[in-house]
Amino acid sequence: MKYRVSWIAPIWMALLAAHAGATITVRDDAGNSVVLDKPAQRIVSLAPHATELIFAAGGGDRIVGTVEYSDYPAAALRISHVGNHQQIDIERVIALKPDLLVVWLHGSSERQLDSLRKLGIPFFYSEPKKLADIPDSVARLGRLMGTEQQADKMAAAERAQLASLAAKYRDRPTVRTFYQVWGKPIYTLNGTHILSDVMRLCGAENVFAHLSVTAPSVSTEAVLLANPEAMITGDRKTTAGLEIWARYPDLLAVKNGNLFSINADLLNRAGPRLIDGAAMVCEKLEEARSRRIAKP
């Protein structure tokens, strides 16, 4: 027995040493490898959706700085801000001594990000393009923080929720849908945006999916010509609502009463709550189907 212990002990110690020195590597949404020597303990989140992803992955208590509008969950309100999506207080970020920055790929000043990158702080670029990317993001952030148990559990629940929605709506009749980001001027989204993936999940077709710009401006005439059966917008005070279309009673969405407003925070952030927002979009589009006038 003593011989066996003396033989195993050196191997066990070597394994512990190897594990202690092991690096953590994940791929971010820009396709870059993010390498950490140890689980991240001090994280600065530079996007509201990233803050929500980190909390979902079990690392909310590791966030030392966020940006404006990082207001969910409630605990995020107690975290100090280092700026907004347009302007970052670089000195404040440095003072927080982060070992990981979670950055929105197209939401921050590239010049300022370059300054931070030169300091050698690891970056995780976050920009989910499809609903399935949300649970994947939660799982990857969990690996970076060493919170895999909670992160993987959350990711599994999110994947199950998406699978349930897909099974429920995949065979439903198509609803041609217009999503209004802004009303004055009119902005919408094309087929590459994650909200188009929400529409596809619900059995809908984005009437402006074919446009090349991700968030294009469209004319009133273009919307009238597309004649969508349903219109959806995020419900936010700073966004002109769908009431601007009431003057066009022959527009199919207006005629059938299919003008839908949904909590903007559930639609405009590519975080875990977008899956709840997707469920609400699916329910609204099912209402639109129920209002179709039966042909004689």
Work out the percent of the chain whose per-residue pLDDT is above 70: 89
In 3D space, the residue among 265, 290, 274, 217 whose CA is nearest the CA of residue 76 turns out to be 265
Q: Which residue, 122, 155, 188, sits at the end of a domain?
A: 155
Residue 225 lies in a domain: yes
Query: Residue 199 is encoded by which pair of tokens?
Result: 């529409």
* Verdict on whether the full-model pTM lies above 0.85: yes
| Same-domain check for residues 193 and 112 | no
| Same-domain check for residues 85 and 194 | no
pLDDT tens digits, one per residue of 79-93: 999 998 778 999 999
Residue 14 lies in a domain: yes
| Same-domain check for residues 149 and 192 | no
| Same-domain check for residues 150 and 16 | yes
C-alpha–C-alpha distance, residues 24 and 262, integer Å: 39
Proportion of the chain in helix, strand, coil states, percent, rounded to 5: 45, 20, 40
Residue 271 has pLDDT above 80, yes or no: yes
Alpha carbon of residue 261 to chain centroid: 19
Q: Is residue 42 a contact partner of residue 100, using CB atoms and an 8 Å limit?
A: yes
* pLDDT computed for residue 293 by the predictor: 65
Residue 96 lies in a domain: yes
pLDDT tens digits, one per residue of 190-220: 999 999 999 999 999 999 999 999 999 999 9
Helix (H) or strand (E) holding 198: helix 194-201
Residue 162 lies in a domain: no
Residue 259 lies in a domain: yes
Cβ within 8 Å of residue 58, ≥6 positions away: 142, 145, 147, 149, 150, 151, 154
pLDDT tens digits, one per residue of 115-151: 888 888 999 999 999 999 999 999 999 999 999 999 9
pLDDT tier for residue 276 given thresholds of 50, 70 and 90: very high
| Same-domain check for residues 244 and 148 | no
* Mean pLDDT score across all residues of the chain: 90
Query: Residue 252 is encoded by which pair of tokens?
Result: 């199919």
Q: Which residue, 155, 180, 206, sits at the end of a domain?
A: 155
Query: Residue 62 is encoded by which pair of tokens?
Result: 């590791």
* Distances, alpha carbon 149 to alpha carbons 60, 72, 128, 158, 263, in Å: 15, 22, 22, 15, 31
| Same-domain check for residues 216 and 274 | yes
Q: Which residues pair with 182 in a beta bridge?
A: 187
pLDDT tens digits, one per residue of 50-59: 999 999 999 9
pLDDT tens digits, one per residue of 146-182: 999 999 999 999 999 999 999 999 999 999 999 999 8
Full residue range of the structural domain in which residue 80 is found:
2-155
Residue 189 has pLDDT above 70, yes or no: yes
Query: Residue 36 is encoded by which pair of tokens?
Result: 């950490």
For the domain that residue 217 is a member of, what is the CATH number? 3.40.50.1980
| Same-domain check for residues 8 and 122 | yes
End-to-end CA distance of the chain: 88
| Same-domain check for residues 67 and 93 | yes
* pLDDT computed for residue 116 by the predictor: 86
Neighbouring CB atoms inside 10 A of 103's CB total: 25
In 3D space, the residue among 190, 258, 198 whose CA is nearest the CA of residue 230 turns out to be 258
| Same-domain check for residues 37 and 149 | yes
Residue 147 lies in a domain: yes
pLDDT tens digits, one per residue of 238-268: 445 899 999 999 999 999 999 999 999 999 9
Structural domain total, the chain = 2
C-alpha–C-alpha distance, residues 149 and 169, integer Å: 31
| Same-domain check for residues 46 and 177 | no
Q: Is residue 190 a contact partner of residue 196, using CB atoms and an 8 Å limit?
A: yes
| Same-domain check for residues 40 and 126 | yes
Residue 87 lies in a domain: yes
Identify the residue whose tokens are 């033989």.
7
| Same-domain check for residues 10 and 144 | yes
